[in-house]
Structure 1
Amino acid sequence: MTTSTENEAPNKITVWMVEDDASYREQLHALLNERKGLSCPHAFSKCDDLFATLEAESSWPQVILMDIGLPGMNGLDGIRELASKAPDVRVIVLTVFDDEEKVLKAIDAGAAGYLLKHASTEEIDKGIRDVLSSGAALDSQVASLILDRVRNEKSKHNPLSPQETEVLNLISQGLCNKEIAYDLGISAHTVSFHLRNIYKKFDVHSQAAAVSRGIRQGFI
């Protein structure tokens, strides 16, 4: 299954939305379609409609903006389902919830980013591009919350090799694979190899989840 729509202009990023607030959904849907390089053909009110469309269409979006408080299947369960059925599709949580429990649950479920609804269209646009280039997009308030509130979850043993730990630390600083490769003097292929090992050792499916786990366990 591809993650680019055949009838979209080349190089456009395809984004879908799942948001039950009709007013916010319609407004953001229109604004995203006005952004250069973005296309948002679908905006759903619930996860059931999202998954029905995923099954029916021959191509999938690159990024899905997902609320947490949804009717029927909630956003967290939707993220887990997407991680299983469409692992190449990046999910950014876009919600009003900013407490650490929901943030960490969303990231552990497989979200590649977590933005709050007060984010501007420009910030959401940047977040979409960030998850496709560097692998993560976190609201600054959310990033501070993670750093401030979860460092007490320490582990005595770091399962990562020294270079894997270096890679994870550079990911946490927002560097993309090519930048990490340059900094460490290794190939981008080797960076990808280390990332796969990190995911396997941490049992996660995204860079954001790996960074969250590394911070919580005190490895970075």
Structure 2
Amino acid sequence: MFKRYATYYLTVKRKLFLIFRSISTELDKAKITIAIIDDHRLFRAGISELLSNQQDIEVVFEADNGVEMQASLKNSQVIPDIVLMDVNMPHMDGYESSRWLKKHYPGIGILALSMLDEEDTITRMLQSGSGGYLLKNANPEDLVTAVREIAYNGSYLNNIVTAKFMRSVKTGNISVPPLSSKELEFLRLCCTPMSYSAIATEMNISVNTLEKHRAAVFRKLDLPSRPGVMLYAIKNGLVKV
């Protein structure tokens, strides 16, 4: 009888181990992977520690500038979901690095993180492909929120960025290439908090088809990021909110 109970115990223990290992694996898969690109190492270390303390976020690599970022991407076993990008860096700054990322790794989200709050700087980063812009003196909770917003919704807009970017977007008689009915529907839904997957469901199309509409709209408006498209569309009356 002891042998039978021992066998039963080992079987249950083995099953529990497999269950917990499976759960752990799924949690690891669900983590938002982050790369931090900033030439101030002390600041990087603080950001890395803050984000690593979040159960759903993992920092996969750090780099001093865009050149090091390129090398890290080639050598990293994990391609990050989001890159936290400083603006002023030696060798390859945030503008050039963001444009390079959008060309070679369009699936990576970008969150600009800088002390610069000038209108021109914010606008240039959003037009270079950043999905959001956060000042380095923001609350830690704001950074975590911004990371999650970009991961799940593709963009992060706060009041400061919205106000400055809205003033800088050109207005007047604009010439926008004709958009199809599906592209106009996407544009309208893009100006809501909905994630891309939720937009695809709302439009009753696949995520792959949605990606084609997204790419077409971004190309026609000549803006590489969702925040830029949203604010451009709203200010120029392409959509009503």
Bin of the TM-score, shorter chain as denominator length: 0.7 to 0.9
Match of 2:226 in 1: 207
Alignment of 1:138-149 (within 5 A): 138-149=157-168
Give CA-to-partner distance per residue, 1:30-69, whole Å, 9 cap, x none: 1111112101132222222111111222331110000101
Match of 1:19 in 2: 38
Looking at structure 2, the residues matched to 182 and 55 of structure 1 have their Cα atoms a distance apart, in angstroms, of 34
Amino acid corresponding to residue 106 of structure 1 in structure 2: M
Q: Deviation at 1:22?
A: 2.8
Aligned with 2:39: secondary structure?
Answer: coil
Q: Deviation at 1:200?
A: 3.0
- Return 5+ residue gaps in structure 1 as ranges: 1-5
Alignment of 1:99-178 (within 5 A): 99-150=118-169, 152=171, 154-157=173-176, 159-178=178-197
**Quick one: which of 77, 82, 86 aligns to 1:67?**
86
The structure with the largest alpha-carbon Rg is 2
TM-score (norm 2): 0.76
Match of 2:95 in 1: 76
1:85 aligns with 2:104: yes
**Any conservation in 2 of the 1:154–1:216 contact (CA below 8 Å)?**
no
The size of the alignment, in residue pairs, is: 213
Q: Deviation at 1:28?
A: 1.0
Alignment of 1:32-71 (within 5 A): 32-71=51-90
**Any conservation in 1 of the 2:123–2:168 contact (CA below 8 Å)?**
no
Name which structure has the greater RCO, CA cutoff 8 Å, separation 6+. 1
Aligned with 1:131: secondary structure?
Answer: helix
Looking at structure 2, the residues matched to 43 and 34 of structure 1 have their Cα atoms a distance apart, in angstroms, of 16
Looking at structure 2, the residues matched to 106 and 154 of structure 1 have their Cα atoms a distance apart, in angstroms, of 25
Looking at structure 1, the residues matched to 43 and 212 of structure 2 have their Cα atoms a distance apart, in angstroms, of 40
Distance 1:108 1:125, change over 3 A: same
Aligned with 1:71: secondary structure?
Answer: coil
Tell me which moved more, 116-125 or 81-90. 116-125
Distance 1:201 1:182, change over 3 A: same
- Return 5+ residue gaps in structure 2 as ranges: 1-24
Alignment of 1:171-186 (within 5 A): 171-180=190-199, 186=204
- Higher share in helix: 2
Percent of paired sites with the same residue:
24
**Any conservation in 2 of the 1:87–1:205 contact (CA below 8 Å)?**
no
Q: Aligned Cα RMSD in Å?
A: 2.6
Looking at structure 1, the residues matched to 194 and 206 of structure 2 have their Cα atoms a distance apart, in angstroms, of 12
Aligned with 1:138: secondary structure?
Answer: coil
Match of 1:3 in 2: none
Amino acid corresponding to residue 198 of structure 1 in structure 2: V
Looking at structure 2, the residues matched to 75 and 129 of structure 1 have their Cα atoms a distance apart, in angstroms, of 21
Tell me which moved more, 99-108 or 189-198. 189-198
Q: Deviation at 1:142?
A: 0.4
